[in-house]
Structure 1
Amino acid sequence: MTVSAWAHHRWPDAMRQMSRLFARKIVLLAALVLGAVLAVAIVLPMVSDADPNAIAVTERLMPPSLAHWAGTDELGRDVALRIVHGARYSLMIGAITAAGAVVLGALLGILAGFFQRLDAPLMRLVDAMMSFPDILLGIALVSILGVSLWNVMLALVIVYTPRVARVVRAATLVLRELLFVDAARALGVRTHRILWAHVLPNLMSPVLVQLTFIFAYAILAEAGLSFLGVGVPPDIPTWGTMIAGSLEYSDKAIWTLLFPGLAIVLTAVSLQMLGDGVRDMLDPKLKKAV
């Protein structure tokens, strides 16, 4: 069964699983929060031409008010406006990092799990990368690549690829020993066809779970790198750069730190809750609890 055929036949079952997933109030709340963040990030910048980097020195460090709902920062820039525009960058970093890490990690995991000759060298490489803490490896990679938005995303993809590779390898090791794979081999089906039509569809569950988790990890990692001064350039209003720029004034303008921090926490926690729900839904041992 090909991936497209698998999707067609499994669609009704997937819809039933989705309904069970969102029957859990905490997962539904997380999905609503993420939907609201995504809607704000996409819609508001399209209907407003306000510049998030517009400087108004006479309005610097103003507390929240009707004119500035989340106050202003040290340069008089509207914090709420920068959070809205920063959502696009932070979500983009999370999405691209998650997608890149899942694609590369799945490729490495399938190769290592299905081809025994590649297992040892690929896993030694993965183990070597995972021996470093994520933040330290990210700092090292950004220092080598240079500070820019795309280099930060590339560094985070490299950081989180081994995590996906190990999960996919473990699942592939189980799948390659199952009867339907042996039957396909006995019928003379080519290896690439077995991987595409039989192995890959059965890896969707762990891959989807990893996708949601890495999305959240990437947003937090970008904030951490920006906090340490090796993240996205300050002129790009990500939530991480906003927190990094507000530290000097946080004692007298706590709102410059509070509101971007809340945006990060709400988004990351919602992604984690959604990921937990997806994991519980797809895990046969936990399905009854969903």
Structure 2
Amino acid sequence: MRIPLKITYNFDLISKLLDKFELDYDKDEVEELIEEVQEEIGLEEFEEDLGSTQNIEIGDFEKLTGYEFEGYLKGLFDLLGYTVIETSLSGDQGADLIASKDGQKTVVQAKKYSGKVANKAIQEISAAQRHYKADKAIVVTNSSFTKSAIDLALSNDVELWDGKKLKDIIRELRSKKKEKHLEAQKAMTLNFKDGEKFVKINIPCPFCEENFDYDLEIGKNSFETSCPNCGSEIASKVNVKSTSRTWSCEFCGKEFDTKEKAEKHEKTCRSRKK
């Protein structure tokens, strides 16, 4: 019979049960057993979810399955400027993601748990760091870590991201994207000629930071569209100015609305004689 996915595998709960029957147990062994059971459940969830797609917003990771959490972290590291590769489900050597940035390689293990992450995750990512010859190792979870896991991570120079740190990183990322969006709004001033129906504008996406062209209808001072590169929805106001074509005297700089008038003026322009 399959164990229900909603069960919380909590060490305190299990230890009370073992104490009740006066059974001897080792804390680390129990935590590792809980971890193995959760991994088996995560694999079943992945098999059930094959072929399904979900739109997940940044910051919304609590309801994800273990496999979805890995994909979510890949997207997050992409936004943080990394080039990310997902390892295969089998033979990943302890790393779910391999992320590269500024010439440094980082191995990442994702742990979507309801309980605390124990020593096994630290041991696996340390082995993965050696296997992939990575410069850095990170374990990321939505929950927290046991004290022994934290101690082991410190002695092996493994970086730990618990649920709180993960939310802080997402919050900071959102804040930076919002600032870039506001800067893009302020910088966008358009000029167009009389008689034009559309003006082509170049929009800097504040999310993926790629630029794309958009045809803005004349008479409108705002637009709503989606980035063709990352799919993010973008809405912004623009400062639209209409400009008529003018011709200037090459001697005094005076402007005229026709080329003929400018040429006629140049023939008698006082600045020309100086």
TM-score (norm 2): 0.22
Structure that is richer in strand per residue:
2
Structure that is richer in helix per residue:
1
TM-score (norm 1): 0.21
